[in-house]
Amino acid sequence: MQLVPNLLLFGRVLRATGVHVHRERMVDAIQATEWIGLRSRTDLRATLSALLVHRHEDLPLFNQAFDLFFRAHGSSALDLPLFSLGERARVVMRRNAGAPQRLDLESESTESDAASAAFAIGAYSTVEVSRTKDFADFTTSELEAARRFMLRMHWQPGFRLMGI
């Protein structure tokens, strides 16, 4: 059964499009699909949106992702990248004949592991971590650091459009 990996993958797609999926809700979603079953697409959609989405603004994004991810086999749209979801080019869809659909986040594929590890070591600094880490996951001290950093910024939002 490919369901669990596919659900996890779907969670990643959602995260990649900017929906903040909570880890525990992902676990709930896997449990819930067992109860709800896979016979009804409406029910699966309702199940996943109830557990993985918690913002009204994210619902259209979720629906698009759901439609693309859980679609009928042989659909001509299968090889389209997920640009419509606001996804950047690092998400690549591969279609292997007969194998289940796979969606690899390039940064996590094996061939780039070594490179990314080296990059991580070379680029390490607390500020660098802040750059890629989601604000919601910040610890108090990291938030403090971010605030201090923001104080150092010479930023005048009111004048942004002056040059145009």
Partner 1 sequence: MSRAPLAIPSSVDALQEALGRQQYIAERALAVSIYLALRLKRPLFLEGEAGVGKTEVAKVLAAALDTSLIRLQCYEGLDVSQAVYEWNYPRQLLEIRMIETARDLDRAAATHELFTETFLIKRPLLRAIEETRQRAPVLLIDEIDRADEEFEGYLLEFLSDFQVTIPELGTIRAAEPPIVVITSNRTREVHDALKRRCVYSWIPYPDFEKEYRIVTGKVPGAPERLARQVTAFVQDLRTADLYKAAGISETLDWAAALVALDRDVLDRHVIDETLGILLKNQEDIEAVRGDRVGAILARVLA
Q: Looking at beta carbons only, is 53 or 68 nearer to partner 1?
A: 53
Work out whether 142 is an interface residue with partner 1 (CB under 8 A): no
For residue 154, the SS3 value is: coil
Q: Looking at beta carbons only, is 42 or 126 nearer to partner 1?
A: 42
Minimum CB separation from partner 1 for residue 89, in Å? Answer: 28
Find out whether 29 and 38 touch, Cβ atoms under 8 Å.
Answer: no
Q: Looking at beta carbons only, is 36 or 129 nearer to partner 1?
A: 36
Question: Which of 7, 14, 19, 53 lies at the binding interface for partner 1 (CB under 8 A)?
Answer: 53
Q: Looking at beta carbons only, is 46 or 123 nearer to partner 1?
A: 46
Instruction: Spell out where 10-138 has E strands.
Output: 91-94, 102-105
Spatial distance between the Cα atoms of 83 and 78, rounded to a whole number of angstroms: 13
Of 17-25, 79-87, 93-101, 144-152, the segment contacting partner 1 by CB under 8 A is: 17-25
Spatial distance between the Cα atoms of 128 and 140, rounded to a whole number of angstroms: 17
Spatial distance between the Cα atoms of 148 and 145, rounded to a whole number of angstroms: 5
Minimum CB separation from partner 1 for residue 157, in Å? Answer: 20
Spatial distance between the Cα atoms of 41 and 47, rounded to a whole number of angstroms: 10
Which is nearest to 33 in space by CA: 48, 21, 53, 19? 48
Q: Looking at beta carbons only, is 43 or 87 nearer to partner 1?
A: 43
Binding residues for partner 1, rule: CB under 8 A, are: 20, 22, 25, 28, 31-32, 35-36, 42-43, 45-47, 49-51, 53-56, 59, 136
